[in-house]
Structure 1
Amino acid sequence: MSTEPRTGRAPLWRDRSFGTYWIAQTLSAAGNAFAYLAVPLLVLEATGSVAQMGLLTAVAGVASVIAGVFGGVLVDRYDRRRLMIVTDLVRLVLFGLVPLVWLAGPQVWLLFVVLPICAAAGMLFQVAAVTAVRNLVDTDRITEANGRLQATFAVTAVLGPLLAGVVSARFGPEVAIAVNAASFALSAVGLRLIRLRSDRAVDAAPVARERPLAEFLAGARFLWRQPVLRALTVLLSVFIFLTYGFTDVLIYHVTHDLGGTEGTVGTVLGLAALGTVAGALLVAPLRRRRGFGPTWIGAHAICGFAVAGVGLATTVPSVTALTAVYLCCVSVGGICSMSLRQEITPDHLLGRVTSAFWSTHYALGPAGAAILTWAAGRYGVPAVALVAGVGCLLVAVGGLFTPIRRAGAEPASAPPGFGPAPAVGTTGG
């Protein structure tokens, strides 16, 4: 993006701290793309059961929700960058154990130990990562920064599954998981090279510490009292229930119903991820021109049609195209929602508000994944995808009857009693 003449600021890509953070997280995302395909394949290879895949997804989801309850408290209390580095190192060690143990033969039980812990660490990392963007760029550049990050992540999501499919087919999914483990080391090194604005800022009025549960509830109260955020939380909780197991169902559909191989699955997920790239690049101009409400509602409506279409599709190319549309719209809706929270939440509450949002948002996800995958094995993918797609469409319709519909391009005000967001470069208080 070109320099803005009004402020004379350099383009975002020339910001050294943001650029370093961007590169480090891109490398980490590339590794995550390997695990995104390799873990379900590892379970399917060892058990042949889509229900087992869904159960593992559900268990990891529960761990994420539990970690989310107190993750925001930790992020707001302690050094955010240091927390991110620690969680990277934890995941490096645990994911690194999988290929080593697998040398003795399939050990599915290990995944039920490693994945929940890594999911909890990942939740803490993601909460901190959301606050890190706020501490890296000016407020009016948050949507642009999120878009650039997500677009780059999506590019790695294109190449990652493609390479993971090749590696899994040639060497086994456990080797692809080893690549994921190595990526966390690269992320940790990159984080060591940056400093967040909050690291340098001196808070003149430190926030009084309370019990962890009370601090978490402060974030939940802010979330609930802000009308747009409240509506988003409720509707997205339903959406995640309907789609949390979508990847597992998709992999099952491609391999079981359409006769695809591990390489086919990698190709489908890799090419479909181009939709995420498109969504990340489109979100900032869409929000500027159409406003938050129409962009968010439209994205989720299209998601519904795409999910239903995936189940009805009978060829691999059509499944790939529809999945790309789905991922594009998920990207648009997700970046819109995340950017709005970052813009209107005071910095000293941002970790707890993000934590409260994700804990609530993902609370129904594990149950949804277990039910979705069980139903796919019992009744078939077409019926399950049709029901999930109609549900997603109803989520979008629900947005028309909430403050989301009236939300424009500019952030809404903070709820009474919490004060405005602090000036850029401060930690708030």
Structure 2
Amino acid sequence: MFIPTQEAALPRQETQSIWRNRNFVLVLSGYTLSTFGNCFHSVALSLWILQSTGSARYMSAIMLIYIFTQLAFGTLAGTVVDRMDRRKLMWMADFIRGALVLGVALCVSVPHIPIAVVFVLTALIAVGGLFQSPALHASIVDIVGASKVQKAVGFINISDNTARISGLALGGAFVALFGGSVAIIVDACAFFLSALLVLACSRFSVSHSHSGQRERQTFWQDMKSGLHYIWRDSFIRSLVFLSPIVNTFFLASLMLVQVMAVKQWAATPVQFGLIEACIPSGYIIGAGIILLADAKMKRRGLWICFSMIAMSPVLVTLSLLSSAWPAIPLILLMGFLFSFCTMLSSIILRLKVSPEVQGRVFATLGSLSSVLPPVGIVAASFVADLKGPDLPLTASGIALLIISLLFVLFQKALRTFR
């Protein structure tokens, strides 16, 4: 009688190379394309709004649309993700967003279109993203298997940052050469290609497909049970809040560093460009190390705790500097530490959270991540205008240290997670 070995007993995606996993390659390619195209859209729309209205208020309105959309529909979208075939939801969301983006391109190319129409289309595009993003994140374990999650998340984050850096760098030149409407059409084409790539995948929601075996709940019961799942488990709850909190301090501090670079360090254009490049560069270096370490990385919870604590003296030291050159390696280090905090917590969530509720968990995480950082940036800006940027930067470092120590002291499950 044939007795299967341990390797043979594992699902196929657990034993094969991640690059031989057709579903992962297709999903990653689609995600990278849509992220790259979205940068063209962002640059073109921002320029069009400023050129058409000359008002910074309309620029801030775009950000508020995304925040309020996430708040109003985030958990609802996450519940839909957990009740539907996630692959189907992903390609449908991308097709719909592609069609809506074509509508934005039309508005940009036709004179005297009311800006309210663009705002409505932007809100609908944001709603589409609320379904696609949690569906993608909740499907990673099913696509690659639990043993390949760290490697998959590493590649996704590196692809995301590379697409954003190159997309923003090329977006301005593309708009200057071909116009805003053509640049936005590029984004629509990227969404359509992403949808086709996901459509070409075989079914990958393996765990989710078994959810029908349990007693079917109503939509609202599912939504409440998802929130209850997050709230009753202190470890899951702390991880859901961890990334948005770190994001808040990180983005607020980054804004303060930019103010210091101009007002206090008198940074040259070369120095300012290096400062801007250091954050994504540091993040990619950190993501690459996590990717290479893969299963060899032990005590991932401790790595998160150490990275959060280490960011505090970096922020305080930046607030004490008087020139830009010594700040550049510290800013690179900040991006590096940030990658360990956010990537590893995302990996742990995928491993610890039941696949049937991952859509709701990642939707809630997305809602918090869309709300807390802008609030932190506004608060830091207000204090910086009154007292200068160095004081709130020091305060950010001290506050982050206190919060990090609280995580370390009261979250034993995080400290001991391997």
Question: Could you tell me how far 1:378 is from its partner in structure 2?
Answer: 6.5
Give the whole-Å Cα distance in 2 for the aligned partners of 1:251 and 1:169: 26
- Aligned partner (choices 76, 82, 85) of residue 79 of structure 1: 85
- Aligned partner (choices 1, 15, 18) of residue 24 of structure 2: 18
Maintained 8 Å contact 1:64/1:116: no
Q: Assess, with a 3 A threshold, how the Cα gap between structure 1 residues 96 and 288 changes in structure 2: closer, same or farther.
A: same
Question: Could you tell me how far 1:173 is from its partner in structure 2?
Answer: 6.1
Equivalent residue for 1:427? none
Q: Which one is further off, 155-164 or 15-24?
A: 155-164
Equivalent residue pairs, number: 405
Question: Could you tell me how far 1:399 is from its partner in structure 2?
Answer: 1.8
Unaligned runs of 5+ in 2: 9-14
- Aligned partner (choices 164, 169, 172) of residue 171 of structure 2: 164
Trace 1:243-282 onto structure 2 (pairs within 5 A): 243=250, 269=276, 272-282=279-289
Give the whole-Å Cα distance in 1 for the aligned partners of 2:56 and 2:386: 10
Give the whole-Å Cα distance in 1 for the aligned partners of 2:253 and 2:48: 17
TM-score for the superposition, normalised by structure 2: 0.78
- Aligned partner (choices 57, 60, 69) of residue 63 of structure 1: 69
Trace 1:135-214 onto structure 2 (pairs within 5 A): 135-168=142-175, 176-198=183-205, 203=210, 206-214=213-221
**Over residues 273-307 of structure 1, what are the superposed CA-to-partner deviations in whole Å (9 max), with x where a residue is unaligned?**
22232222222528844512221123333444556
**SS at structure 1 position matched to 2:217:** coil
Q: Assess, with a 3 A threshold, how the Cα gap between structure 1 residues 31 and 372 changes in structure 2: closer, same or farther.
A: farther
Maintained 8 Å contact 2:315/2:397: yes
**Over residues 290-347 of structure 1, what are the superposed CA-to-partner deviations in whole Å (9 max), with x where a residue is unaligned?**
5122211233334445566777778787777555444333332222122212112222
- Aligned partner (choices 339, 349, 356) of residue 341 of structure 1: 349
Maintained 8 Å contact 2:211/2:356: no
Equivalent residue for 1:423? none
- Aligned partner (choices 225, 230, 235) of residue 228 of structure 1: 235
Question: Could you tell me how far 1:144 is from its partner in structure 2?
Answer: 1.5
Maintained 8 Å contact 1:288/1:409: no
Maintained 8 Å contact 2:283/2:338: yes
Question: Could you tell me how far 1:231 is from its partner in structure 2?
Answer: 2.0
Question: Could you tell me how far 1:116 is from its partner in structure 2?
Answer: 3.3
**SS at structure 1 position matched to 2:402:** helix
Equivalent residue for 1:327? 335
Q: Which one is further off, 249-258 or 173-182?
A: 249-258
Maintained 8 Å contact 1:29/1:157: yes
TM-score for the superposition, normalised by structure 1: 0.77
Q: Which one is further off, 238-247 or 337-346?
A: 238-247
Question: Could you tell me how far 1:71 is from its partner in structure 2?
Answer: 1.5
Maintained 8 Å contact 1:279/1:332: yes
Maintained 8 Å contact 2:48/2:108: no
AA partner of residue 277 (structure 1)? I
1:299 aligns with 2:338: no
Unaligned runs of 5+ in 1: 411-429
Equivalent residue for 1:94? 100
Decide which structure has the larger Cα Rg and report it: 2
Question: Could you tell me how far 1:41 is from its partner in structure 2?
Answer: 5.6
Give the whole-Å Cα distance in 1 for the aligned partners of 2:124 and 2:262: 29
Maintained 8 Å contact 1:242/1:368: yes
Give the whole-Å Cα distance in 1 for the aligned partners of 2:316 and 2:86: 40
Maintained 8 Å contact 2:87/2:203: yes
Question: Could you tell me how far 1:401 is from its partner in structure 2?
Answer: 1.9
Equivalent residue for 2:124? 117
Q: Percent identity?
A: 20
Maintained 8 Å contact 1:50/1:248: no
Equivalent residue for 2:11? none
